[in-house]
Structure 1
Amino acid sequence: MATELVLVTGMSGAGKTTALKMLEDMGYFCVDNLPVPLIDKFVQLVREGGEGKASGVAMGVDIRSSDFSNLRNVLADLKEKGIPFRILFLDADDTTLVKRYKETRRSHPLARGGRVQDGLRKEREAVGFLKKDADYILDTSQLLTRDLKTELEKIFIQDQDFRSLMITVLSFGFKYGIPADSDLVFDVRFLPNPYYVPELKELTGKDRPVHDFVMQYEVSGQFIDKLEDLIRFLIPNYIEEGKTQLVISIGCTGGRHRSVTLAEELFSRLKDSHEYGIRIEHRDIQKDSFLKKE
């Protein structure tokens, strides 16, 4: 089959519909919520029709699709017929999914009027075989829409060697609490604090004077070198283990100067690799300013 076939699936609320819209913008012919019994017939029509002007064909299938329980057999039949396809699995952690359902005021298709958490548990059991066989797993828990688009372009346009790990480098202030989704937490409050330098106090770690102040000390360079070495050691092991989301949190007192500087420095050193996706976020960078205005 000349036309590429992609099965877009995953957890309800993880971004399947958004991903399909993005693939459509990339030139794919997209069909959402295709009933499972029709997949085989649809694929036959695609094969007979040829490529046309489409870059490929993307089929959206999830727990809501009719006769979903038979999907495993349908996919096995496609493989037996020698029809190639790739599986894109969209996932997110339960906390994020529950929040999204509450924001949209929608009920989970398997909750049956009960708790969303119960529906998610049943769904994870039902779609587990798809995640296990997936060619690509994108965890959207920390992804902005533009980040998801970037990752899809890497896979389906740039044809890069894709790894499912998405790294978030996150700066924060300890006085506002440690981020609950942190995988690794590093405390940089041992570094000299620009807060006590009058001309630097109102700036942030994204400003060059603050960056230069923090990084002028030998201990700062030693710390970032050792941190980079540790992260580069961990990444391939996390990938091998199947981890899809890694949040590296770097904290100082207020999350405005030192943590931002070190987070930016780490991101700069890691951003050019094609082994993983990476983004940076500064959670508390403006909080002190807002509190002063109030």
Structure 2
Amino acid sequence: MQLILISGLSGSGKSVALRSLEDAGFFCVDNLPATMLSDAMALYRNYGYQQIAISVDTRSHPTLGALPLQMKALREAGIDVRLFFLEAKQPVLVKRFSETRRSHPLAGMGLSLEECIEMEMELLAAIAELGIRMDTSELSANTLKSWVRQLVDSDGNRLTLLFQSFGFKHGVPLDADFIFDVRCLPNPHYIAELRPLTGKDQPIIDYFASEPKVAEMIADIRSLLLKWLPEFKLENRSYLTVAIGCTGGQHRSVFIAETLARAFEHEQVLLRHRQLQRNGCD
């Protein structure tokens, strides 16, 4: 059996993620108390369900403390358990609640929206460390669905090395384990004919191939990851997210993320470009 747990901040896209799994054939349950996970999975097994997706979040926050032990017990029972933790930057969450006019699940405590978000972050801080974190601040619904499906399709018994490019001017991604700043490298943005292109285009690739410092930066990042990746595997990590940032997330970070993904193709690798998907280029 496979169990995908969806958790995270209210307004971060948990419903979108759950619907994408339902479309993929998962039996989905929204807002199940964590204390009921083992009993629910035993029931679903009796009915012959093989792929289950369950949302567990602060709507049942008194039971969240039971989640780590519940996950451990289910894994010991031979179930492939993965947790996806969705989050977004506070201004983005405030904007989403304002646009939808929904109330926050913790609003009944007499707190402002900002205070509700801060409290929810505190309540879920320990849960965030149990799975892969996904920063949805700049993601469209379709992109989030695609990313969730990619993670589900990956082999849960192997560490997934996730390379993602981003632009510092759009903010640092919340879900990164490593962040490498490559803004010190030559920038094709200042060459008129290269400016509209991305790090995936051949003229940009040729431009960076002629810059020794770019190759040196890539070699240093690759060397660090090669040295420490075995240690992360020993910790039974399922995912390791390596973020490469330049100014706009268009040229340098994209090229380097693409190059590193190819360098580690012997591993289980996912590749994402946060700004390219936002601009419709990916």
- Structure 2 gaps of 5+ residues are 174-178
Change (3 A) 1:202 1:49: closer
**Aligned equivalents of 1:38 and 1:125: distance in 2?**
23
Within a 5 Å distance, the mapping from 1:1-294 to structure 2 comes to: 3-35=1-33, 39-51=37-49, 55-65=50-60, 68-73=61-66, 76=69, 83-85=77-79, 86-95=81-90, 96-112=92-108, 114-132=111-129, 134-159=130-155, 163=159, 166-170=162-166, 178-181=169-172, 183=179, 184-188=181-185, 193-195=190-192, 200=193, 204-205=197-198, 210-211=203-204, 214-215=207-208, 217=210, 220=211, 222-233=212-223, 235=225, 240=232, 247-251=243-247, 260-272=250-262, 273=264, 274=267, 277-281=270-274
Q: Percent identity?
A: 25
Aligned-residue CA RMSD (Å): 4.1
TM-score by length of 2: 0.69
| Aligned equivalent of 1:289 | none
Q: Is the 8 A contact 1:161 1:275 kept in 2?
A: no
Change (3 A) 1:191 1:135: closer
Aligned length: 259
Q: Deviations over 1:87-112 (max 9, x none)?
A: 41323243343343333333322244
Q: Is the 8 A contact 2:18 2:53 kept in 1?
A: yes
Aligned residue identity for 1:89: F
Q: Is the 8 A contact 1:137 1:164 kept in 2?
A: no
Which of 1 and 2 has greater Rg?
1
Change (3 A) 1:190 1:74: closer
**Aligned equivalents of 2:87 and 2:35: distance in 1?**
27
Q: Secondary structure at the match of 1:12?
A: coil
Change (3 A) 1:44 1:147: same
Q: Is the 8 A contact 1:20 1:30 kept in 2?
A: yes
Change (3 A) 1:165 1:102: farther
Q: Secondary structure at the match of 2:172?
A: coil
Q: Is the 8 A contact 1:15 1:140 kept in 2?
A: yes
Change (3 A) 1:24 1:214: same
- Structure 1 gaps of 5+ residues are 173-177, 287-294
Change (3 A) 1:141 1:194: same
| Aligned equivalent of 2:176 | none
Change (3 A) 1:116 1:215: same
Change (3 A) 1:31 1:138: same
